[in-house]
Amino acid sequence: MENTIGADQSSAAREISAGYATDGAALELGTVVVDGVVDPSARVRIPFATLNRHGLVAGATGTGKTKTLQGIAEQLSDAGVPVFLADIKGDLSGMSRPGEPGPKIEQRSRETGDDWVATAYPVDFMSLGGGSSAVPIRATLTQFGPILLSKVLDLNETQESTLGLIFHWADQRGLPLLDTKDLRAVIQHLTSSEGKADLKGIGGVSSATAGVILRALVNLEAQGGEAFFGEPEFEPADLLRQVDGKGVVTLLELSDQAANPRLYSTFLMWLLAELFEDLPEAGDLDKPKLVFFFDEAHLLFTDASKAFLERIEQTVKLIRSKGVGVFFCTQLPTDIPNDVLSQLGARVQHALRAFTPDDQAALAKTVRTYPNTKTYDVEEALTSLGIGEAIVTVLSERGAPTPVAWARMRAPRSLMAAIGDDAVTAAAKASPLYAKYGQTVDRESAYERLTAKIAEPPPLPASADVLPPVYEPPPRREREEPNMVEDVLASPVVKSFLRSAASALGREITRGMFGTRRR
């Protein structure tokens, strides 16, 4: 009787595995489990060509999500595909070291048919801002834009609209908003007696609303958020790197920003938006140019406005044509809005817990998102999965969903543990990116110009409709010293500013195309 049951299980496993067969290269997830029996020959895989159709990795804490991400990232790197991955708990730093063999690794290798070999991968350690030993990632406020900053500051729609007008005023005046003190100086100017005419001239913005934004900005600075905004600004193209044919794995360290989840999640959206704007159309590729893992994805959608959600959906939908795959990682699939969830082709669902009525409702909704299967009771399976097991369905090479598979996931080949702060520091300083981004640059911007303006004599009266840029010298002085213009334009500081002003104009257009205004 046992042999008959075993044959039935093997037949069911192979039938499921046949739905995952591919003609091209594929990423190996694991092997099929039926009635608790694993078949090492029944492979569960994702075609590399469909990874730009995005995916979801979900499951309760402690079910193996992080190891799944590690295993996927390793295979992408082996295939020459760069990976961006947030390392919230610091567990993934071990990817830079070869794994350690042991009885559990050997058993998992036998079960999944994996010829396991300890392997280290090229890793860049980065962090938000300059408060860490890793390479800092920064963005200027001008580049970040008012819509994303409004999400960080937790502003309502009226306040967001006001912030957009403030950005517009600064752009029109040629005032670079590089860091938080620049925006603070602009808001303080607009709410001062001297700036009331300017405030009225940009749509009658309420000084009370501007004050609310200013207080939110000060709170952000108090939480350490100002360390992220500034220069040198991170170039997303630096994520698309290879070392010795392997894709570089960029690990974003979040220890310093753990108390500011809004900044973390919105930063990831900014980075994704920058990739969308910068990368050319790629069409259908054999493998993606980059795979972007959006960990703790529920933080992005919490309290998000309708317009913000629409832009996320649009970006996810369109960025696949640029050759970028996005994987959202969270505890519950219901954390992801339906319009975004419908764009995700691969589903790797680790165990769910159903301890509360809300958990049970989320479980029921999750079950309904899977194709019908005669092999498993999906609801029972989702609460019975072991650590390192998942219910999987992906898109096949022809674009159809694969059969639902209970998969035992492959073990990562790199170290499944943190390597320590000292090792991270040494690796970060050895990176070629450290020389580029390691030191903060604080050049002249809105703060310095507005501060200098306060110390200048009052300007000549001007029409309220035509306001002179604050950075221009008085006309009378130009006539007295005709060579001053040439001297000023030759200054490296002014050249830097002119580049910034031109860049700011381009960014304003980009913000408009990306939906930075409410409609």
What is residue 453's predicted lDDT score, i.e. its pLDDT? 63
Report the half-sphere exposure of 437 (CA within 13 A, side-chain side). Answer: 31
Q: Which of 13-17, 168-172, 444-448 is the least confident region?
A: 444-448
The answer, yes or no, to whether residue 514 has pLDDT greater than 50, is: no
Query: Among the three residues 420, 437, 454, which one is the final residue of a domain in this structure?
Result: 437
What is residue 42's predicted lDDT score, i.e. its pLDDT? 96
What CATH number does residue 386 fall under?
3.40.50.300
Confirm whether 240 is domain-assigned. yes
What is residue 433's predicted lDDT score, i.e. its pLDDT? 93
The confidence band for 319, taking pLDDT boundaries of 50, 70 and 90, is very high
For residue 500, which of 141, 180, 175, 274 has the smallest C-alpha distance? 175
What is residue 298's predicted lDDT score, i.e. its pLDDT? 85
Q: Return d(Cα 140, Cα 112) in angstroms, integer.
A: 47
212: exposed, middle or buried (Cβ count in 10 Å: 0-12, 13-18, 19+) = middle
What is residue 123's predicted lDDT score, i.e. its pLDDT? 96
Q: Output phi, psi for 247, to 5 deg.
A: -70, 135
Q: Which of 35-44, 289-298, 493-502 is the least confident region?
A: 493-502
Six-digit token string for 175: 């005032």
Supply the angle between the helices 492-513 and 157-172 in degrees, to the nearest 10: 140
The confidence band for 359, taking pLDDT boundaries of 50, 70 and 90, is confident
The answer, yes or no, to whether residue 486 has pLDDT greater than 90, is: no
Q: Using an 8 Å Cβ cutoff, are 146 and 518 in contact?
A: no
The answer, yes or no, to whether residue 517 has pLDDT greater than 50, is: no
One domain for residues 119 and 148: no
389 versus 476: which is more confidently predicted? 389
The answer, yes or no, to whether residue 482 has pLDDT greater than 50, is: no
Q: Return d(Cα 135, Cα 129) in angstroms, integer.
A: 9
What is residue 469's predicted lDDT score, i.e. its pLDDT? 46
Q: Using an 8 Å Cβ cutoff, are 169 and 163 in contact?
A: no
One domain for residues 243 and 356: yes
Confirm whether 518 is domain-assigned. no
For residue 431, which of 84, 137, 123 has the smallest C-alpha distance? 123
Strands 123-128 and 135-137: parallel
One domain for residues 286 and 353: yes
The answer, yes or no, to whether residue 492 has pLDDT greater than 60, is: no
Residue 165: Cβ within 10 Å count? 19
The answer, yes or no, to whether residue 53 has pLDDT greater than 90, is: yes
One domain for residues 484 and 416: no
Residue 221: Cβ within 10 Å count? 16
Q: Return d(Cα 95, Cα 286) in angstroms, integer.
A: 25
Q: Which of 102-106, 302-306, 401-405 is the least confident region?
A: 302-306
One domain for residues 209 and 275: no
Question: Quick check: helix, strand or coil at residue 231?
Answer: strand
One domain for residues 133 and 179: no
Confirm whether 62 is domain-assigned. yes
Domain count, the chain: 2
What is residue 227's predicted lDDT score, i.e. its pLDDT? 83
What is residue 86's predicted lDDT score, i.e. its pLDDT? 84
Q: Which of 107-121, 247-261, 287-301 is the least confident region?
A: 247-261
Average of per-residue pLDDT across 376-398: 95
What is residue 310's predicted lDDT score, i.e. its pLDDT? 84
One domain for residues 85 and 122: yes
What is residue 6's predicted lDDT score, i.e. its pLDDT? 65
Query: Among the three residues 397, 421, 437, which one is the final residue of a domain in this structure?
Result: 437
One domain for residues 53 and 133: yes
For residue 282, which of 245, 239, 243, 325 has the smallest C-alpha distance? 325
Query: Among the three residues 389, 419, 437, which one is the final residue of a domain in this structure?
Result: 437
* Buried/exposed 498-514: b ≥16 CB within 10 Å, e otherwise: eebbeebeebbebbeeb
One domain for residues 132 and 271: yes
What is residue 480's predicted lDDT score, i.e. its pLDDT? 40
One domain for residues 417 and 357: yes
One domain for residues 331 and 396: yes
* Buried/exposed 291-330: b ≥16 CB within 10 Å, e otherwise: bbbbbbbbbbbeebbebbeebbbebbeebbbbbbbbbbbb
For the stretch 302-312, pLDDT in tens is 877 777 788 88
Confirm whether 519 is domain-assigned. no
Question: Quick check: helix, strand or coil at residue 425?
Answer: helix
What is residue 484's predicted lDDT score, i.e. its pLDDT? 43
223 versus 473: which is more confidently predicted? 223
3-state helix, strand, coil in the chain (%, to 5): 50, 15, 35
Q: Which of 15-19, 146-150, 165-169, 263-267 is the least confident region?
A: 263-267
The confidence band for 461, taking pLDDT boundaries of 50, 70 and 90, is low
The confidence band for 2, taking pLDDT boundaries of 50, 70 and 90, is very low
Range of the domain at 491: 141-228+442-513
What is residue 124's predicted lDDT score, i.e. its pLDDT? 96
* C-alpha torsion 203→208→211→215, nearest 10: -130
One domain for residues 128 and 270: yes
Average of per-residue pLDDT across 461-468: 47
Greatest mean pLDDT range, 64-68, 154-158, 219-223: 64-68
The confidence band for 450, taking pLDDT boundaries of 50, 70 and 90, is confident
Residue 393 CA to chain centroid, in angstroms?
24
Residue 261 CA to chain centroid, in angstroms?
12
What is residue 193's predicted lDDT score, i.e. its pLDDT? 82
Q: Return d(Cα 145, Cα 171) in angstroms, integer.
A: 11
Confirm whether 463 is domain-assigned. yes
